[in-house]
Amino acid sequence: MTASVFALGRFKLHHGGELADAKLVYSTHGTLNDARSNVILYPTSYGAQHTDIEWLVGPILDPSRFFIVIPNMLGNGLSTSPSHLPEGTPFEVDHIDNVVAQERLLRSLGVETIALAYGWSMGAQQALHWAVMHPERVRRVAALCGTARTREHNIVFLSSLESALHADPCWDGVRFTDVPSRGLRAFARIYASWAASQAFYRHQLYKPLGFTDLEDYLVRAWEPVYRRRHPLDLLAMLRTWMRNDVARGQPLSQALGRIRARTLIMPSQTDLYFTPEDCADDAALIPGARYREIPSIWGHRAGNPSQNPSDARFIRAAIEQLLEEP
């Protein structure tokens, strides 16, 4: 594994404004072949940095065959983020900006064609943006537990997370004057209630993971995930997620109809915010797309099954099949 920094310089944003001295931090795995045709692009998801999702390299994505590039999305604390900038600096980033930055990175590596754009959650949103914005350059897409447009019920979930942070006494309307401990605690509990399914909690699947009870699970499995990120970065990524829409004012059918890649849309059967119904609606609008549900009670987390071997096997088989197709 190699972690590197790609300098973007003065980077103009889709919604206006620009970032000065912007950077994209990324990691790579495997070897780029002579034809530069074996690239898998694997963008990060909400709150994650490349080290959080590299577990999948090997068990699901094969670095002996492919050159796997994991770009950290803008706002995640490694690539340029609000926590790096002077207080009050506007940071209105969406996935168009992420794709533009990633495209510049790949060009710097001499890469024209992506063998597979693979993503989970916000990573799936970026993969679908790639397929719409550069249909001639993306051969395959695997979008796990993510949609081409953020639906209204999903925005309600995201708004509740935003409200939890804004309700902390440390928030003064512009910045956090201290660590928003109350807000982060509420944030983690809201996230935990949506990310896993009702059946996950009914069967207490957290106990085999080493947690003694529900409170222990919430405190040790969820709170540290978000406490290690700057709250301004958490807010910025929420807003990017809320703005997710490959159509940009067009009919969604028109935008998704431009995709030429062999596309696999793979939701979890029990995902509460990227629902199977929403994912199926997207798949129906993508020419030739295959729709395949992960038969899991792990909810949204089924698409990132680092602690769930059965779902990992299911995903690996589907990805192997997709990569064998011309």
CA nearest neighbour of 60 among 266, 286, 300, 326: 266
CA 161 from centre of chain:
17
DSSP E strand boundaries for the chain: 2-12, 18-29, 39-41, 67-71, 116-120, 140-144, 262-266, 290-291
Find residue 1's DSSP bridge partners. Answer: none
Strand, helix or coil at 80?
coil
Q: How far apart are CA 93 and CA 296, in angstroms?
A: 33
Alpha carbons within 13 angstroms on the beta-carbon side of residue 84 total: 15
So what's the pLDDT on residue 109?
A: 96
Tens-digit pLDDT profile for the chain (326 aa)?
678 999 999 999 999 889 999 999 999 999 999 999 999 999 999 999 999 999 999 999 999 999 999 999 999 999 999 999 998 888 999 999 999 999 999 999 999 999 999 999 999 999 999 999 999 999 999 999 999 999 999 999 999 999 999 999 999 998 999 999 999 999 999 999 999 999 999 999 999 999 999 999 999 999 999 999 999 999 999 999 999 999 999 999 999 999 999 999 999 999 999 999 999 999 999 999 999 999 999 999 999 999 999 999 999 999 999 999 88
Question: What would the 3-class secondary structure string for 200-226 be?
Answer: HHHCCCCHHHCCCCHHHHHHHHHHHHH
Active-site residue, from 121, 197, 268, 296: 121
* Nearest Cα to Cα of residue 247 among 45, 96, 42: 96
pLDDT of residue 104: 98
Q: CB within 8 A of 163, min separation 6: which ones? A: none
C-alpha–C-alpha distance, residues 4 and 12, integer Å: 22
Q: Which residues pair with 118 in a beta bridge?
A: 142
Contact 169, 81 (CB under 8 A): no
Q: Are 41 and 53 in contact (CB under 8 A)?
A: no
Distance separating alpha carbons of residues 104 and 107, to the nearest angstrom = 5
Confirm if 263 and 131 have CB atoms less than 8 A apart: yes
Q: Is the pTM of this model over 0.75?
A: yes
CA dist 143 and 279 (Å) reads: 9
3 has which bridge partners?
A: 27
How far is it, in rounded angstroms, from Cα 82 to Cα 95?
16
- For residue 72, count CB atoms less than 10 angstroms from its CB and return exposed for 0-12, middle for 13-18, buried for 19 or more: buried
Q: Cα 70 from chain centroid?
A: 11
Decide if 271 is catalytic.
Answer: yes
Quote the pLDDT of residue 1: 66
pLDDT at 87: 85
Catalytic residue among 233, 271, 278, 282: 271
